[in-house]
Amino acid sequence: MTTFRIQTSARNQFVEITDQVRDAITASGISSGLCVVYCPHTTAAITVNENADPDVVHDMLLYLNKTIPQNQTGFRHAEENSDSHIKASLVGPSVTLIVEDGEIVLGRWQGVYFCEFDGPRTRKVMVQVVG
Amino acid sequence: MTTFRIQTSARNQFVEITDQVRDAITASGISSGLCVVYCPHTTAAITVNENADPDVVHDMLLYLNKTIPQNQTGFRHAEENSDSHIKASLVGPSVTLIVEDGEIVLGRWQGVYFCEFDGPRTRKVMVQVVG
Amino acid sequence: MTTFRIQTSARNQFVEITDQVRDAITASGISSGLCVVYCPHTTAAITVNENADPDVVHDMLLYLNKTIPQNQTGFRHAEENSDSHIKASLVGPSVTLIVEDGEIVLGRWQGVYFCEFDGPRTRKVMVQVVG
């Protein structure tokens, strides 16, 4: 298992981590199998989406922030970050990727993102590869 | 593969199953690899989120029930549980966890939850571990 | 790894791919382990849900299209398919299934779906099995 840290700079932010995931696969020495990218935090998530036009991430965050506002009638959690927990479970705590020929199988426009929903914070990401 | 049953007591409910997942990993005898926690039902899901303050789960269910109401204009499914199916696919049918040193790698505040969206029912959960 | 193609016929559509996933598992020769069904596109996704009553898929698409409309105030992405990217990350780029006795472990009402959110297009799906 490989662990790496990232520093986020906003309350809601997508940070691309494709290169760090590639490095973890190379370090594992496994050429064919599966790779799990895991977020050990309850107010952040992992996803795969377009990494060509940054406007895609802009629009995804705009939608999430508009439809899951921070303060909602009836919310009880005293930390006032229930929106962050909701986003975390909807986007999901991990992605499972395919490894072939020592590389992650990604589509032409795909990158792997760490999704910060309660930053800025220092965060950890774990990567496990099995063959 | 390990299978266990749980009994839910409400239409919408998160039941923590972290201990049962830990037991399945111990039973597998695998010390390093991946663990999939799988829900074989179409109106329930699996997620990872905070297990310290129960208000987090309260607020997550409040949000899901408010934004995905049971009866919506245009719904055709005669069982009147289309909301449950929608919640199931958005939260997701499984989580994939990392296993190291014979333990699931979870963040400090993370627990594994079975998410009931059409209870109360008796449900099954499957756990598979590969090394 | 197995790759297969599907042709979608609408902008938003769920296409059942359970049979193709079963074929990939048979071809792998693996009797016990995990199977990842992966979508290499950023405007499509993979899910598991009911395959008995087609009204379930109808209602799921009705909900997604109503709550994630194509044009939203503030969207910048010039391709005008930000809704498709949002749906892709919320439903998710892959599912991880359990394999036992050479078969996917699915609940009685479950099927595996390719979720098209920006069709019609020719799409690819990858399946990896590890034991």
Each residue of C79-112: pLDDT tens digit?
Answer: 999 999 999 999 999 999 999 999 999 999 999 9
Can you give the pLDDT of all 131 residues of chain C as single tens digits? 999 999 999 999 999 999 999 999 999 999 999 999 999 999 999 999 999 999 999 999 999 999 999 999 999 999 999 999 999 999 999 999 999 999 999 999 999 999 999 999 999 999 999 99
What are the tens digits of pLDDT across the range A9-67? Answer: 999 999 999 999 999 999 999 999 999 999 999 999 999 999 999 999 999 999 999 99
| Pick from C63, C91, C95: CB nearest B68 | C63
Q: What is the mean pLDDT of residues A113-121?
A: 98
Residue pointed to by tokens 């193709």:
C20
Each residue of B96-127: b (16+ CB within 10 Å) or e? bbbbeeeebbbbebbbbbbbbbbbeeebebbb
Strands (E), chain B: 2-7, 13-16, 33-38, 44-50, 94-100, 103-104, 110-116, 122-130
Query: Given CB atoms, is A32 within the 8 Å cutoff of chain B?
Result: no
pLDDT above 90: percentage of residues in chain C: 100
| Pick from B67, B90, B98: CB nearest A126 | B98
Amino acid symbol at B59: D
Query: How many CB atoms lie under 10 A from the CB of residue A57?
Result: 24
Question: What pLDDT shows up at residue B46?
Answer: 98
Chain A nearest-CA residue for C75: A59
Question: What pLDDT shows up at residue A108?
Answer: 97
Question: What pLDDT shows up at residue C98?
Answer: 98
Q: Identify the segments of chain B with pLDDT beneath 50.
A: none
Angle between helices A82-91 and B54-67 (to 10 degrees): 70
Query: Given CB atoms, is B97 within the 8 Å cutoff of chain A?
Result: yes
Question: What pLDDT shows up at residue C96?
Answer: 98
Question: What pLDDT shows up at residue B49?
Answer: 98
Measured CA to CA, the distance from residue A34 to residue C129 in angstroms comes to 8
Q: In terms of residue numbers, what domain contains C59?
A: 2-130
Query: Given CB atoms, is C93 within the 8 Å cutoff of chain B?
Result: no
Confidence bin at A123 (pLDDT 50/70/90): very high
Number of domains in chain B: 1
A54: domain CATH number is 2.60.120.460
Alpha-carbon Rg for chain B in angstroms: 15
Question: What pLDDT shows up at residue B100?
Answer: 97
**In the sheet where A2-7 sits, what is the strand order?**
A2-7, A122-130, A33-38, A94-100, A103-104
SS3 B89: helix
Question: What pLDDT shows up at residue A22?
Answer: 98
